Amino acid sequence: MNVVNIKSDLHTLIDKINDISVLNAVKVLLSKQVFEPDLWDDLPESVKESIEKGIEQAEKGDTKPHDEVMKKYSKWLSKYDGQLKQKNPLIK
């Protein structure tokens, strides 16, 4: 089946759908394919490797609880949060 045939089949199927939730779901799915590029290809290799390493660690259960991380980095987070609030009064 070529691209033209597949598009034609999709048009036919969509024309038969009357359920608004299904149509919205299809719209969201297709919109993501058309308008949201895959940024993975634009990332530097070092960033990709770091992300893949993090995923592997998480899959092995080698993670830290959220509260432990927040406690460890709270001094930097609060400093950054304060800087953001100073720059943008809309941030509460």
Residues with Cβ within 8 Å of residue 14, at least 6 apart in sequence:
23, 26
Per-residue confidence (pLDDT) for residue 62, from 0 to 100: 93
Per-residue confidence (pLDDT) for residue 51, from 0 to 100: 93
Per-residue confidence (pLDDT) for residue 12, from 0 to 100: 93
Sign of the Cα torsion 55, 61, 62, 66 reads positive
Give the residue ranges of the chain where pLDDT is below 70: 33-37, 78-92
What is the rounded CA–CA span in Å between residue 27 and residue 71?
42
Per-residue confidence (pLDDT) for residue 83, from 0 to 100: 59
What is the rounded CA–CA span in Å between residue 53 and residue 58?
9
Per-residue confidence (pLDDT) for residue 72, from 0 to 100: 85
The residues spanned by each domain of the chain are 3-35, 62-92
Per-residue confidence (pLDDT) for residue 90, from 0 to 100: 52
What is the rounded CA–CA span in Å between residue 73 and residue 81?
12
